[in-house]
Chains A and B, each alone.
Chain A
Amino acid sequence: MHKVVIHSVELGKRYAIGERARYLALRDVLANAMNSPRRILGRDRRTGENRGPQQLWALRDISFDIQEGEIVGLIGRNGAGKTTLLKILSRVTRPTTGFADVHGRMGSLLEVGTGFHPELTGRENVFLSGAILGMGKREIEGKFDEIVAFAEVDKFIDTPLKHFSTGMQMRLAFAVAAQLEPEILLVDEVLAVGDLEFQKKCLGKMSEVSKGGRTIVFVSHQMSQIRRMCGRVIWVDRGVINQDGPTLDVVPAYERALSARIEVNGPQEAGFSDKIQFLKWEFMVDEGAPPNVLQHFGPVSFRVVIYFPEAIRKGSYGILLIDDSGRIIWHGNFELSGLQPGTFEFLHRLPTLPIKPGAYRWKAGVYDGHQWTDGWWALPEMVVGTKPMTNTGDEFQGILNLHCEMEVRALESVRK
């Protein structure tokens, strides 16, 4: 009954690395042209293929079929090729090998607020962004009121976008995107930022859309989102499909692989590893709220539960907070003494945790004496869903998400 809407056969994408740096300036090209004139006008395939070591396959042999109405999650580490695959499917870039047949109208959302212009008003930006995402003028006119209501910006709709707060800009951008109703929707990790309430609203809208028989391909680092949204997951690793199957099979395998990686690299993972067991961690939140999501600026309370089969006379327990790119954000180390066998919870309390929205992981470990006994990636991931206080553009975000006050005072003035 179901029909295939995306049929991908051995898609591959090769980038020639270093190309940008090499040909950035025309004067270099002119100098190079002395040696090989053909390169001035376009790099043709012959020269492209002979460049050997400077090439990188971002994707290789990607084959899969996606059926109508499926919601497929695309997971993998940073740089695994997820976004490249999405860019090929959305036709932003073209593959080097293979092909994919797409049946049906396709829309893509690789970024929030694509095409927004600060000088234009909210209203004008709705039309512009809508058109760029593939909506017709009539369609946007018909949905305009809904968009404004969804974004909750009705009072400012005729003000230039540059006067909007970043939160308002985000909401407006999401609201336009949420109205996108193609038959196939490709979504990059655009929902990772923005405040949590609004994220939920968008996810809700997306699953609503999929009930109407639409197909969604969805990239995310947040396994909680993937679990909630997707029935099927494709796990991409180093440019190839590592596993493709039901979410219930693939996500745990992926999480195991993430944990396994540090175990393998850990200094002394053997020996005691079956002794102590990390059971869980969670924020101390109200009933019903997701226990791995931070929605406020503090104080932050969380607990880590660990089972000790044997007593620890004197040792220590350490916990690391690690961000998406593997940087250590915070490290706590605590003495342990006279611990009897049993299950213990470690209650932590931080005055504040002002880090930028996104996904993080905890790594916990225990020392018995000076001997490292065990370490675990404490899954699920920790998701920070606080409101961005500064710029929402990824490239300008630092590590801290802190509100800063500023006043200007003249110290000395030049008299004329």
Chain B
Amino acid sequence: MMRRAFFPLLSSVAAALCSCSSNSGAPAVFQTSQPDIVFALGSREGFVSPLNASLKPACPALEFRGTSYALTGAHRRALAQLAKGWSEGGKPKYVLAGYTPPEMTEDYARALSERRALAVRQALIEQGIEAASLQTVGFGQDSAPSGPTTGVVVIYKQ
């Protein structure tokens, strides 16, 4: 009897723990807070697209699962590391490019990849990188097959 009652409890705890990274509608244990201020994008002048030049990623690509655009702890740690070296590295500019796998519908893929890139941008601004140094682009699946074909945000150094 005790075991029967324990299983649903265990599964609900597991589901709640999972939801904090999958951004589902279920209540999360560690809620991802919505930003108080969403920073508008600055001018695109001086930024080069990864389509026009061979740009080097500033850090490993940030992977997103399913349709989530919430940042995980691993994402935040990687971004904190990047932000830490930003001012010492001469305050470089970054283009944050979002990509999705090919099975998504096209227009939603563009919106989702842009939304993920903007979530990364927001986190970098909160970590101290100037908003004017960051530009986003959501390629969705339009850059395939030459570009990434998974759900990632790549941070390209200018």
The answer to whether A binds B is no
Binding site for B on A (CB under 8 A): none
Binding site for A on B (CB under 8 A): none
